[in-house]
Structure 1
């Protein structure tokens, strides 16, 4: 597939999507958001793809924010539409995807960049990474889910401080806060993500998708996460993967999951 602002690579069940606007520090513009949605949707429809990794090109930035030049002159209605469309098209879509998505944060993840990383199922950072939501320094607030996902990940007080000060935290502080799962060198970043992906791929993709839905249910208003878990647990008993997994366990062999 041909893209202008991203690079799509697939190998042995893992897709690596690289945001490729290094001259703009990989800032998110409308086309990049559209291409990310298209690429992730394509990967999700491919039964051979078990994990998606999102990263940025170059050594400076994962995504250094949104492309401000695209919306600097927007009206209030246009601003609200920008946030609503962006959330629906990409950020909420990633969060609710049943294919696991890992953010490989290789540098600055600011504003929309951190929001993109937070929409992924978990995050791994290189030791040069810096993260923050500096939108209030521009007279606006995070609009791609940042005010919701950051408190979920690091707690209300820390999120309030980070957003109100428009500050940045480094990779080790992000690790301490629970914003990222691991910190490694830039050279080891993608290999570590691929190693984690390999561990994920040993397991049932249909069960992983159900687990993602159940975990996310806990963070949705009006949804009983325990009920969703019970329903998903019950449905698992009707899958081919459940039969294969339990049979393999009893036969003391490695399971060969079909993802069905």
Structure 2
């Protein structure tokens, strides 16, 4: 696995598979977020693409959320805001994409990973998957990903996840509305995704584009909303509390 992480795109029979990876549990760096955003945009514009599948590599983690290493290096508000704006741009690109986006969640998803699952149109998971919003323990909050998650699972469930920071299993996530379907294992998950993607790929692209406009009604203010949320995160990531927590966490992980 590339030590800096990577994003790869494959196109098979009009289905674009966008896969990301990072050796630190598939955490999201600025570089990966930019590449993911560009990949979604390119797929949206490509007439040969009719369905998009977002997935990650490895077995134990779908996505560990924001890169601790990069957050520790943030020294000023401008840099902090820009880091979280990368999340905002990715979510908005996925929201505006005129094609169906399927998320493949095969393992643990934290923070930004939950956001990716939430902003996708159809999220398919296996029973090994689980979700968590642990931002509060860091002295942060799920500010940028919050609107997408709240829209999918409702205010009450979003508040619960934001406060308790507990792991919630795949069946909780399905009941809450985040996961559309849950499968017994990764093999069944992949078979189901392939079948579903092929089914959607023969549908009218014009009808899907119009449907997606309806799906996302009421989110027209997200460009400005997510920027305002990025400013909150960009401020808090500079706090002594957050820096101390992340340093202690990295110290424990290195032992």
Q: One fold, TM greater than 0.5?
A: yes
**Could you tell me whether the CA contact under 8 Å between 1:61 and 1:108 is conserved in 2?**
yes
* Alpha-carbon displacement from aligned partner over 1:113-171 (angstroms, at most 9, x marks no partner): 111221211211111001121111111012432x2122211121111011011122111
Superposition deviation, residue 79 in structure 1: 2.6
**TM-score, L = length of structure 2:** 0.79
Q: How does 1:41-56 map to 2 (within 5 A)?
A: 41-56=41-56
Q: Counterpart of 1:17? A: 18
Q: How does 1:104-119 map to 2 (within 5 A)?
A: 104-119=104-119
Aligned length: 217
Q: Counterpart of 1:84? A: 85
Q: Over aligned residues, Cα RMSD in angstroms?
A: 1.9
SS of 2:80's equivalent?
A: helix
Higher relative contact order (CA 8 A, sep 6+): 2
Q: How does 1:30-69 map to 2 (within 5 A)?
A: 30-69=30-69
**Could you tell me whether the CA contact under 8 Å between 1:83 and 1:143 is conserved in 2?**
no
Counterpart-to-counterpart distance in 2, 1:121 and 1:212: 9
Matching of residue 121 in structure 1 with residue 121 in structure 2: yes
**Could you tell me whether the CA contact under 8 Å between 2:34 and 2:86 is conserved in 1?**
no
Counterpart-to-counterpart distance in 2, 1:41 and 1:31: 15
Matching of residue 209 in structure 1 with residue 200 in structure 2: no
Counterpart-to-counterpart distance in 1, 2:49 and 2:87: 24
Q: Counterpart of 1:149? A: 148
| Greater gyration radius | 1
Q: Counterpart of 2:140? A: 140
Gaps of 5+ in 1: 223-260
Counterpart-to-counterpart distance in 2, 1:56 and 1:87: 19
SS of 2:59's equivalent?
A: coil
**TM-score, L = length of structure 1:** 0.78
Superposition deviation, residue 197 in structure 1: 1.2
Q: How does 1:220-239 map to 2 (within 5 A)?
A: 220=220
Counterpart-to-counterpart distance in 2, 1:16 and 1:112: 19
**Could you tell me whether the CA contact under 8 Å between 2:126 and 2:186 is conserved in 1?**
yes
* Alpha-carbon displacement from aligned partner over 1:74-117 (angstroms, at most 9, x marks no partner): 334433332234312x1111111001111100111101111122
* Alpha-carbon displacement from aligned partner over 1:165-223 (angstroms, at most 9, x marks no partner): 1122111111111111000121222221121112212210111011101220134469x
Superposition deviation, residue 33 in structure 1: 0.8
Superposition deviation, residue 4 in structure 1: 5.6
For the structure 1 residues 4 and 60, does the alpha-carbon distance in structure 2 shift closer, same or farther, using more than 3 Å as the test?
closer
Counterpart-to-counterpart distance in 2, 1:165 and 1:114: 15
Matching of residue 5 in structure 1 with residue 6 in structure 2: yes
Counterpart-to-counterpart distance in 1, 2:219 and 2:39: 26
Q: How does 1:141-220 map to 2 (within 5 A)?
A: 141-145=141-145, 147-184=146-183, 185-220=185-220
**Could you tell me whether the CA contact under 8 Å between 1:52 and 1:102 is conserved in 2?**
yes
**Could you tell me whether the CA contact under 8 Å between 1:16 and 1:53 is conserved in 2?**
yes
Counterpart-to-counterpart distance in 2, 1:35 and 1:80: 18
